[in-house]
Amino acid sequence: MTKSKKCIFCEIVAGRENSHKIYEDELSLCILDINPFTEGHCLIIPKRHVPWWHDLNDQEIESLFKTARTVAKRMLKEYKVDFICMYARGRRIPHTHIFLVPTASDDLLDRFFNALEKFQESPPVLIRHRSAAALKRTAQRLRKKGGGKK
């Protein structure tokens, strides 16, 4: 990152920017999102600057998900919601971050993901990815170099 393009999350980790810290361990930090979808919306960030979650090391991945689980359990108890929505980002702010959002059936975020799932199920262009043969080809393609389980 250049001086003119400082990473806000790196600045928060370094203590040079304010945040509302909720939880942290040696590798991860949980803060409140300053533009929340709902009360309690948090971000889990690695302390090391890594734009994409799939480039984190194993210890960082473990830390992020343990932190997410710890905070999600607190959210469930505190807000008494139906579930905690979780998704990973890194696009707009190029520093991996996981959104944790307390969510209830039919709230704004639930309706958004329901609409997204309906979109996923409907366009003809996506039908070609659903056949048994297409799914088998996709699985083979994704397995071939990683040596994953079949």
Residue of 20, 54, 97, 129 marked active site: 97
Residue 130 phi, psi dihedral angles, 5° rounding:
-100, -20
Residues 50, 54, 58, 61: is their CA dihedral positive or negative? positive
Q: What is the dihedral of CA 86, 20, 71, 35, to 10 degrees?
A: -20
100: buried, middle or exposed (CB in 10 Å: 19+, 13-18, 0-12)?
Answer: buried
Structure tokens given for 122 = 């409907």
End-to-end CA distance of the chain: 40
Site of tokens 């393609």: 141
Active site includes 41? no
Q: How far apart are CA 147 and CA 124, in angstroms?
A: 32
Which residues form the catalytic set? Answer: 97
